[in-house]
């Protein structure tokens, strides 16, 4: 049995243990934040793949998250009754893509079923990522950072400025995501434990996929690109192609995270698209050690959880800023890695030597 597999089982055991702990201490309300944390973690591991393994920074991932979330929210809440007669709409409702359901006021509403809305949203994000990824990933360094940042701001501005998307209020009243009859992703108290397991199940599935990807031909190609792009190119690795694929993949992770979290929360607001969110995700990846999926998951679990619980108070953003600066100054390779022990030993030995020299 490979170490990879054991680690995944370790994560699963942790997840179960946390749930049992909350059950025993009668504090299962913590699970709500832990579920939200799981969805953010899903985005973070996708981003980790892009930053750490392909070496491409993105300051616009909250944009993909928001496109996914907003689109799914819009499709499942927008009432299509007015254009019921259109042949295309009639066709959609006939095959079950559009369903009639009751809105919060008890009125009837003809809207998208959550599955087709989800698939449509993910596809949209993938297409957007593919279209902008082509030219964006040709850029390097500052130019890449600014281009992705620009993309994020554009999405934010569009979301805030469009009244159809609720402008500054966002979209609320989003129905739960019916995975299959009886299993619904929603924030209802009764489904709390189920939702907690669904969310972390999705994360574990994502991790399994990415870990396998890393130790495959693709993963080795990516680490070659990260190490020396020109050398990788000379060895016959289609670098541009690989970078684009990882970019699209990580955008897909962000989209799924956005969609599921929106259905779980029952709403989405423009703050999800803000630049600060994108920076947070990058911060978590950086603290986790850039090239460590496990570090990313672990740091995401801790930081997102405490942030969602409101432990940092009004210093929420400041905490992320401080962590970002400190980590990049003193431990640019991240905190969670085996190397840190060796470094510490090195540091103390040098320290001792200096004292001896004095």
Q: In angstroms, rounded to a whole number, what is the distance separating the alpha carbons of residues 169 and 125?
A: 22
Q: Report the b/e string of 274-299 with b at 16+ CB within 10 A.
A: bbebbbbbbbbbbbbbbbbbbbbbbb
The verdict on 164 binding other proteins (CB under 8 A) reads no
Spatial contact of 233 and 239, defined as CB atoms under 8 Å apart: yes
Q: Work out how close the CB of 275 gets to other proteins at its nearest, in angstroms, rounded to a whole number.
A: 7
The verdict on 151 binding other proteins (CB under 8 A) reads yes
Among 89, 99, 194, 275, the residue binding other proteins under the rule CB under 8 A is: 275
Within 30-69, the residues that bind other proteins by CB under 8 A are 55, 57, 59
Spatial contact of 206 and 92, defined as CB atoms under 8 Å apart: no
Region binding other proteins by CB under 8 A among candidate stretches 62-70, 119-127, 170-178, 310-318? 310-318
Within 111-150, the residues that bind other proteins by CB under 8 A are 132, 135-136, 138-143, 145-147, 149-150
Q: In angstroms, rounded to a whole number, what is the distance separating the alpha carbons of residues 284 and 237?
A: 29
Region binding other proteins by CB under 8 A among candidate stretches 98-106, 187-195, 256-264, 272-280? 272-280
The verdict on 160 binding other proteins (CB under 8 A) reads yes
Neighbouring residues of 274: CB distance < 8 A, sequence distance ≥ 6: 62, 156
Query: Angle, to 10 degrees, between the axis of helix 61-77 and the axis of helix 275-287?
Result: 130
The verdict on 331 binding other proteins (CB under 8 A) reads no
Nearer of residues 23 and 311 to other proteins, judged by Cβ = 311
Q: What is the DSSP letter of 54?
A: S
Q: In angstroms, rounded to a whole number, what is the distance separating the alpha carbons of residues 150 and 177?
A: 31
List of residues contacting other proteins (CB under 8 A): 55, 57, 59, 132, 135-136, 138-143, 145-147, 149-151, 153-154, 157-158, 160-161, 275-276, 279, 282-283, 286, 314-315, 317-318, 320-322, 324-325, 328-329, 332
């Amino acid at each position: 049995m490979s170490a990879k597999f054991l680690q995944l089982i370790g994560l699963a055991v942790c997840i179960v243990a946390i749930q049992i702990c909350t059950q025993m201490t009668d504090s299962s309300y913590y699970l709500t934040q832990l579920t939200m944390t799981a969805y953010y973690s899903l985005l973070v591991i996708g981003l980790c793949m892009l930053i750490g393994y392909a070496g491409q920074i993105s300051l616009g991932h909250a944009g993909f998250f928001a496109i996914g979330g907003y689109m799914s929210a819009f499709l499942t809440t927008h009432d299509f009754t007015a254009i019921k007669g259109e042949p295309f709409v009639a066709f959609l409702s006939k095959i079950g893509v559009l369903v009639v359901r009751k809105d919060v006021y008890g009125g009837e509403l003809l809207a998208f079923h959550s599955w087709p809305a989800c698939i449509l949203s993910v596809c949209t994000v993938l297409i957007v990522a593919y279209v902008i990824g082509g030219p964006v990933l040709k850029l390097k360094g500052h130019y890449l950072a600014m281009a992705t940042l620009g993309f994020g701001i554009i999405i934010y501005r569009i979301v805030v400025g469009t009244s159809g998307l609720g402008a500054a209020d966002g979209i609320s009243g989003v129905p739960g995501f019916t995975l299959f009859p009886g299993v619904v992703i929603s924030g209802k108290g009764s489904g709390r434990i189920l939702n907690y397991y669904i969310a972390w199940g999705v994360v574990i599935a994502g991790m399994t996929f990415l870990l396998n990807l890393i130790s495959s031909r693709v993963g080795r190609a990516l680490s070659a690109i990260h190490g020396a792009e020109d050398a990788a190119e000379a060895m016959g690795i289609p670098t541009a192609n690989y970078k684009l694929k990882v970019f699209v993949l990580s955008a897909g992770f962000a989209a799924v995270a956005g969609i599921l979290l929106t259905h779980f929360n029952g709403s989405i607001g423009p703050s999800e698209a803000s630049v600060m969110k994108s920076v947070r995700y990058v911060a978590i990846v950086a603290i986790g050690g850039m090239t460590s999926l496990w570090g990313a998951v672990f740091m995401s679990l801790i930081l997102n959880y405490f942030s969602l619980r409101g432990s940092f108070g009004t210093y929420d953003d400041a905490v992320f800023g401080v962590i970002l600066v400190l980590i990049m100054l003193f431990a640019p390779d991240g905190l969670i890695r085996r190397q840190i022990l060796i470094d510490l030993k090195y540091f103390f030995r040098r320290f001792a030597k200096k004292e001896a020299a004095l």
